[in-house]
Chains A and B, each alone.
Chain A
Amino acid sequence: SLLAACGNSEKTAEQPTEEGQKIEWRMTSTYPSTLIQLGTMGKRLEREVNKISGGNITLKFYEPGVIAPPFETFDAISYGAIEAGWSTPGYWAGKDPALQLFSSVPFGPSAPEYLAWLDYGGGKQLFEEVYHKHNIHSIICGMTPPEASGWFKKEITSIDDFKGLKIRFFGLGAKVLEEIGAAPQLIAGGEIYQALELGTIDATEYAMPAVDYRMGFYQVAKHYYFPGWHQQSTFFELMINLDAWNRLSATQQAQIEATCAANVRYGISEGEALQADAMASLEAEGVHIHTWPPEILEELEKAWNKVAADLSTGDPEFARVWASLQSFRAKYKAWSDRGYLKD
Chain B
Amino acid sequence: MDVFIEFLPFLMFAVLTPLLFTGFPVAFILGGVGLAFWLLAVALGLENSNSFFLIVGRIFGGVVNKQVLVAIPMFIFMGTMLEKSGVARSLLHTLQLMTRRIPGGLALSVTLLGVILAATTGIIGASVVMMTLLALPVMIERGYDKALASGTIAASGTLGILLPPSIMLVVMADLLSTSAGGLFMAAIGPSLLLALLYMLYILIRTTLKPELAPALGAEAAKGQLSLSVVIKSFLPPILLIVAVLGSIFGGFATPTEASGVGAVGALILAAVNKKLSFTTLKNVVEQSALTSTMLFGLFVGATAFSFVFALLGGHDLILHLLETAGAGPWLVLAVLMLAVFVLGFFFDWIEITLIILPVFAPVIAQLDFGNHLIDPSLTLSWFAILMAVNLQTSFLTPPFGFALFYMKGAAPSSVKLTDIYRGIIPFVLLQLLGLAMLLAWPEIALWLPRVSG
Question: Are B165 and A81 in contact, with the CB atoms below 8 A?
Answer: no
A34 interface residue (CB < 8 Å to B): yes
Interface size, chain A (Cβ < 8 Å)? 38
Shortest Cβ distance from A195 into B: residue: B254
B40 interface residue (CB < 8 Å to A): no
Most buried by A among B48, B53, B176: B53
CB contact under 8 A between A69 and B61, given known A190-B170, A216-B179:
yes
In angstroms, Cα B51 to Cα A68, docked, is 10
In angstroms, Cα B137 to Cα A73, docked, is 45
Question: Are A200 and B254 in contact, with the CB atoms below 8 A?
Answer: yes
Question: Are A188 and B180 in contact, with the CB atoms below 8 A?
Answer: no
**A75, A186, A214, A220: which contacts B57 (Cβ < 8 A)?**
A75
B251 interface residue (CB < 8 Å to A): yes
Which chain A positions have C-beta within 8 A of B373? Answer: none
Shortest Cβ distance from B452 into A: residue: A219
Which chain A positions have C-beta within 8 A of B237? Answer: none
Which chain B positions have C-beta within 8 A of A186? Answer: 67
A-B contact pairs, 20 of them (CB 8 A): A32-B174, A34-B176, A34-B361, A35-B174, A65-B350, A66-B310, A66-B315, A67-B311, A68-B61, A76-B53, A82-B54, A187-B254, A191-B256, A193-B184, A194-B248, A198-B250, A199-B251, A214-B179, A216-B181, A219-B181
Question: Are A69 and B62 in contact, with the CB atoms below 8 A?
Answer: yes
Query: Inter-chain contact count A-B, CB under 8 Å?
Result: 115
16 additional contacts (CB under 8 A) given A190-B122, A191-B254, A220-B181: A32-B175, A34-B175, A63-B354, A66-B315, A72-B61, A76-B57, A81-B51, A186-B67, A188-B256, A190-B165, A191-B68, A194-B164, A198-B249, A199-B251, A200-B253, A214-B178
B255 interface residue (CB < 8 Å to A): yes
Shortest Cβ distance from A189 into B: residue: B170
Looking at the assembled complex, report how far the CB atom of B101 sits from the nearest CB atom of chain A, in whole angstroms: 39
A311 interface residue (CB < 8 Å to B): no
Question: Are A68 and B57 in contact, with the CB atoms below 8 A?
Answer: yes
A70-110 vs B, CB cutoff 8 Å, 1 = contact: the mask equals 11100110011110000000000000000000000000000
A279 interface residue (CB < 8 Å to B): no
A36 interface residue (CB < 8 Å to B): yes
In angstroms, Cα B163 to Cα A194, docked, is 13
B interface, CB within 8 angstroms of A: 48, 50-54, 57-58, 60-62, 65, 67-68, 122, 164-165, 167, 170-171, 174-182, 184, 248-256, 307, 310-311, 315, 350, 354, 357-358, 361
Which chain A positions have C-beta within 8 A of B174? Answer: 32, 34-35, 189
In angstroms, Cα B167 to Cα A220, docked, is 18
Shortest Cβ distance from B169 into A: residue: A190
In angstroms, Cα B184 to Cα A69, docked, is 26
Dominant SS among interface residues on chain B: helix
Question: Are B60 and A34 in contact, with the CB atoms below 8 A?
Answer: no
Which chain A positions have C-beta within 8 A of B165? Answer: 190-191, 194
Shortest Cβ distance from A166 into B: residue: B251
Shortest Cβ distance from B249 into A: residue: A198
In angstroms, Cα B362 to Cα A33, docked, is 11
A41-83 residues at the B interface, CB under 8 angstroms: 62-63, 65-72, 75-76, 79-82
In angstroms, Cα B251 to Cα A220, docked, is 13
A215 interface residue (CB < 8 Å to B): yes
Which chain B positions have C-beta within 8 A of A68? Answer: 54, 57-58, 61
**A65, A190, A199: which contacts B62 (Cβ < 8 A)?**
A65
Which chain B positions have C-beta within 8 A of A82? Answer: 51, 54
**B170, B177, B249, B354: which contacts A36 (Cβ < 8 A)?**
B177
Shortest Cβ distance from B315 into A: residue: A66
In angstroms, Cα B409 to Cα A11, docked, is 56
CB contact under 8 A between A194 and B179, given known A63-B358, A70-B61, A79-B50:
no
Looking at the assembled complex, report how far the CB atom of A3 sits from the nearest CB atom of chain B, in whole angstroms: 29
Which chain B positions have C-beta within 8 A of A34? Answer: 174-177, 357-358, 361
Question: Are B48 and A76 in contact, with the CB atoms below 8 A?
Answer: no
Which chain A positions have C-beta within 8 A of B252? Answer: 200
**B57, B177, B255: which contacts A69 (Cβ < 8 A)?**
B57
Which chain B positions have C-beta within 8 A of A215? Answer: 179-180
**B58, B256, B311: which contacts A72 (Cβ < 8 A)?**
B58
In angstroms, Cα B60 to Cα A219, docked, is 35
Looking at the assembled complex, report how far the CB atom of B76 sits from the nearest CB atom of chain A, in whole angstroms: 19
Which chain B positions have C-beta within 8 A of A193? Answer: 170, 180-181, 184
Shortest Cβ distance from A241 into B: residue: B50
Which chain A positions have C-beta within 8 A of B67? Answer: 186, 188
Which chain B positions have C-beta within 8 A of A189? Answer: 170, 174
In angstroms, Cα B312 to Cα A66, docked, is 12
**B51, B65, B182, B253: which contacts A71 (Cβ < 8 A)?**
B65
Which chain B positions have C-beta within 8 A of A70? Answer: 61
Which chain A positions have C-beta within 8 A of B248? Answer: 194, 198, 200
Most buried by A among B57, B167, B248, B307: B57
